[in-house]
Amino acid sequence: MKTVVAALIAVALWAGTAAWAQNPGEVVAAVNGEKITAADLYKALKARWGWRQLETLIGDMVVRQATRERHILVTAQEVEQRYNAQREKVHKARLAAGGPSWEQWLARQELTPEVYKERVEITLLMEKAVKDRVTVDDKEVEDFFNRNRHRLRRPESRRVSHIAVKTQEEIKQLRRQIVAGEKTFGDIAREKSLDPTTKEQGGDLGYILKGASPLQRAAFKLKAIGDISEPFQSELKLWHIVKLDDIKPAHEANFDELKDKIRQDIYNLKLRQQMTAWYQEQKDKARIERFGEFEIAPTVKATP
């Protein structure tokens, strides 16, 4: 189970604490008339998850104190931008390749939106704390490319735009308008598409690879730039059409094309390593005290 599950339990523990403190006798469930109270629920949550959640709270406080000393701040806007970027990434992946919805993705990570934003904030604080420790030189990028050239060969990819609406009849009508030249594909996408992440860009989904999702199959049936697919229904239960905007043929790995992405990948790996090391450094320096039933430290490790 992922360590971030502790953060999810915080919501339940907090809710249990609030209910127990205000009305410990409140009935939250019953089995054949036998009652389960808010106090029972809180006691069970605390027994099962209390240690793990406490370690996460301690870790978060270590990070906040260490970054506060250095006047490192993370704004609500920065958290929202990172949150939205991940949500858009998941959404586009679902459209292109049939992955999980944002809600399903969060559930698989055992997170709620609120808890995910909390984890984003802690991550951003640590990233800012260690960013000066991380460098990537040109030789590292070149060496990585040379070692992995065979894995970096690029398959054919296609840039596509799409329009998504609720009914088959509506998508047919919109397609007729585009084919007749009454309106452009991009204009209709901006006016009618139900996909909030692409409509303002005229439905642009970027480059996608060949695959088994309805959108991928439709896109790779198209023959020429500008062709528009027949209507199809996606796993979102919406009706779509896609337009072929560009084709990048399969080709051998090209250093100039890939060097920026390789540099970013190496940077991200080093950043994560430095964040882990920095967090442990700060935790080792901190005077951490646990009291009462939590006085003896557990073997549980919680990494923010």
- Name the pairing type of β-strands 34-37 and 27-31: antiparallel
Looking at residue 123, what is its pLDDT?
A: 97
Start-end ranges of CATH 3.10.50.40 in the chain? 155-248
Residue ranges, the chain, pLDDT below 70: 1-22, 295-304
Distance CA 192, CA 143 (A): 48
88: left (phi over 0), alpha (psi -120 to 50) or beta: alpha
Distance CA 106, CA 101 (A): 9
| HSE, side-chain direction, 13 A CA sphere, residue 30 | 7
Start-end ranges of CATH 1.10.4030 in the chain? 5-134+260-294
Task: Classify domain 155-248 at the CATH topology level.
Answer: Chitinase A; domain 3 (3.10.50)
Distance from chain centroid for Cα 284:
30
Question: pTM for the full model?
Answer: 0.76
Give tens-digit pLDDT for 81-93: 999 999 999 988 8
Q: Residue with structure tokens 């204009």?
A: 187
CATH, range 5-134+260-294: 1.10.4030
The one-letter amino acid at 181? G
